[in-house]
């Protein structure tokens, strides 16, 4: 069995923590010790019959995925890069085609990277049932036993349950219902929440794609045939994949196949699709508040309060979500959690960076954080991991001053190569080729002061780059 982790979500309803270039699967939202992606990998059964994972992600997130797996000591079998998101059916098709192309036909365990499952043993038991059915040729999905008439999930209507088999035929998939319809679903006992997790053989999935979505399969086949290895990543052919239509597994295959069965799962599952759902699965105090970070509550009830950079105090309020980051604060009633997407939409339409990036931006070599900025200057705090190197580059519109705060920096400036240590500095004139390296054993921290007529991140001309960036 190969775990296939889908890490392409944007998580817009969890703004301002989740952003386009650093979405929710890379954040420690449900557990401060691990991110959602890391928790997804940790819940997998251990043993020789569980192969190394395959991860499918957007190419913009490739180094985030690689770093979080490295931090866990997990070596993936492959990280497949999507040039842009095309939903779950093409993502799974890429992985299945690559396996078949290499002469294998494994059982694929398809899991989104951004779900929460509290009862891991219950999940593993359900997985053992699903695996047997998948090996026999069925296409298995997990149906979450509903705890409430939730209107934010799609539903699965199943046949009569057999305690012996543990899996039952899928009668139909249904869209997200209104409140009255959801209550009716629960009353029948025939409906489960659609988890978006699947187990099936690679060849079975591809056979069903050939029948029900041949155009998607053809586009993905061309994308895989034109793929190229890049470091630890597999880059599929961009032109072929862009031509593929966007579709979910449910619409493309599961709603149409006659092989679909559902395994009921009752394991404290949540897709963590909103701040309210995160509050629901978290550990709350006697007043129903869930607090993370530096938070004080006085007379507050049933609130989610997240302090990221500063102290946050909530006094005498009820049913609120309060989330603070370095550059944004969200305050909303819990009943409005689906409307956060409108905030993100307005930020994007206004061309504001808060929709895409945090003030502290991750790069494969480390991070940079904007401390201050004006029309003609910008101050950044740069951290370079031990042994890492920035690209050999130049700028047309800005000069840079570098001051080393901690560690050792090897500097390339034009034809010069020299070393700086703490409290030493240098100047990079406009138009001069330069590179920054950390040859030491500890993180390199420095302050960069940029000055010039244009300070955008796109004013970079790269001549050499360790990470394959253009």
pLDDT value at 330 more than 90: yes
Q: Which residue, 339, 368, 383, sits at the end of a domain?
A: 339
How high is the mean pLDDT of the chain?
A: 93
Asked if residue 469 is part of any domain, the answer here is no
Domain that includes residue 108, residue range: 2-270
Residue 161: predicted pLDDT: 66
234 and 304: one domain? no
Question: pLDDT, tens digit, for every residue of 156-177?
Answer: 999 876 554 688 999 999 999 9
State pTM to two decimals.
Answer: 0.89
Q: What is the CATH number of the domain that holds 227?
A: 3.90.550.10
Q: Are residues 398 and 290 in the same domain?
A: no
Do 373 and 245 belong to one domain?
Answer: no
The pLDDT assigned to 53 comes to 96
Q: Quick one: average pLDDT of 23-46?
A: 93
Of 225, 249, 270, the residue at which a domain comes to its end is 270
Percent of the chain whose predicted confidence (pLDDT) is above 90: 84
> Tell me: the pLDDT tens digits for 177-227?
999 999 999 999 899 999 999 999 999 999 999 999 999 999 999 999 999
Predicted confidence band of residue 129 (pLDDT cuts 50, 70, 90): very high
Tens of pLDDT, residue by residue over 370-382, are 999 888 999 999 9
Instruction: Give the per-residue pLDDT at 232.
Output: 78
Q: What's residue 11's pLDDT?
A: 85
Q: Are residues 309 and 411 in the same domain?
A: no
Q: Residue 123: inside a domain, yes or no?
A: yes
CATH code, domain carrying 435: 2.60.120.10
Same domain, 144 and 81: yes
Residue 469's pLDDT is 74
Residues 287 and 262 in one domain: no
Q: Which pairing describes strands 139-144 and 260-265: parallel, antiparallel, or unpaired?
A: parallel
Tell me whether residue 470 is in a domain: no
Residues 172, 194, single domain; the answer is yes
177 & 226 share domain: yes
| pLDDT band, residue 10 (cuts 50/70/90) | confident
In a domain, 10, yes or no: yes
| Structural domain includes residue 354 | no
Number of domains in the chain: 3
27 and 106 co-located in one domain: yes
Whether residue 375 sits in one domain with residue 453: yes
My answer on whether 111 and 256 are in the same domain is yes
pLDDT at 54 over 60: yes
Name the pLDDT band for 421 (thresholds 50, 70, 90).
very high
Asked if residue 346 is part of any domain, the answer here is no
Last residue of a domain, one of 270, 298, 325: 270
Together in a domain, 266 and 286? no
Residue 344 lies in a domain: no
More confident residue, 362 or 206: 206
Domain membership flag for residue 236: yes
């Amino acid at each position: 069995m190969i775990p296939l982790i889908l890490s392409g979500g944007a998580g817009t309803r969890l703004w301002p923590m989740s952003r386009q270039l650093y979405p929710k699967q890379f954040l420690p939202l449900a557990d401060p010790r691990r991110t959602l992606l890391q928790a997804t990998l940790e819940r997998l059964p251990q043993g020789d019959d569980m192969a190394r994972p395959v991860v499918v992600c957007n190419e913009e997130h490739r180094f985030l995925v690689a770093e979080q797996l490295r931090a866990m000591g997990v070596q993936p079998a492959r990280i497949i890069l999507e040039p842009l998101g095309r939903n779950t059916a093409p993502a799974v098709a890429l992985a299945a085609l690559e396996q078949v192309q290499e002469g294998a036909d494994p059982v694929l365990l398809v899991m989104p990277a951004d779900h929460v499952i509290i009862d891991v043993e219950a999940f593993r038991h359900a997985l053992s049932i699903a695996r047997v059915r998948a090996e026999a040729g069925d296409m298995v999905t997990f149906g979450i036993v509903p705890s409430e008439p939730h209107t934010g999930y799609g539903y699965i209507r199943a046949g009569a349950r057999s305690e012996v088999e543990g899996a039952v035929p899928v009668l139909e998939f249904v869209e997200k219902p209104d409140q009255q319809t959801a209550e009716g679903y629960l009353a029948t006992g025939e409906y489960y929440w659609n988890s978006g997790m699947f187990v099936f053989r690679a060849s079975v999935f591809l056979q069903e794609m050939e029948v029900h979505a041949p155009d998607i399969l053809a586009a993905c086949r061309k994308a895989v045939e034109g793929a190229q290895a890049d470091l630890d990543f597999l880059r599929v052919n961009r032109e072929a994949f862009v031509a593929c239509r966007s579709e979910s597994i449910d619409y493309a295959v599961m709603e149409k196949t006659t092989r679909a069965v559902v395994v009921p799962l009752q394991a404290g599952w949540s897709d963590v699709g909103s701040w309210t759902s995160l509050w629901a699965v978290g550990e709350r105090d006697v007043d129903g508040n869930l607090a993370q970070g530096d938070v004080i509550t006085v007379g507050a009830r049933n609130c989610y309060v997240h302090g990221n950079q500063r102290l946050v105090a909530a006094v005498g309020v009820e049913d609120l979500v309060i989330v603070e980051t370095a550059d944004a604060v969200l305050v909303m009633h819990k009943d409005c959690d689906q409307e956060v997407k409108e905030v993100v939409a307005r930020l994007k339409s206004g061309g504001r960076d808060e929709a895409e990036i945090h003030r502290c931006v991750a790069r494969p070599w480390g991070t940079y954080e904007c401390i201050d900025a004006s029309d003609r200057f910008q101050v950044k705090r740069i951290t370079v991991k031990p042994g890492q190197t920035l690209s050999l580059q130049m700028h047309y519109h800005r000069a840079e001053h570098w001051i080393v705060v901690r560690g050792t920096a090897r500097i390339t400036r034009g034809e010069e190569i020299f070393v700086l240590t703490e409290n030493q500095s240098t100047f990079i004139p406009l138009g001069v080729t330069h590179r920054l390296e950390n040859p030491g054993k500890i993180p390199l921290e420095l302050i960069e002061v940029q000055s010039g007529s244009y300070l955008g991140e796109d004013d970079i001309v790269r001549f050499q780059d360790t990470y394959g960036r253009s």
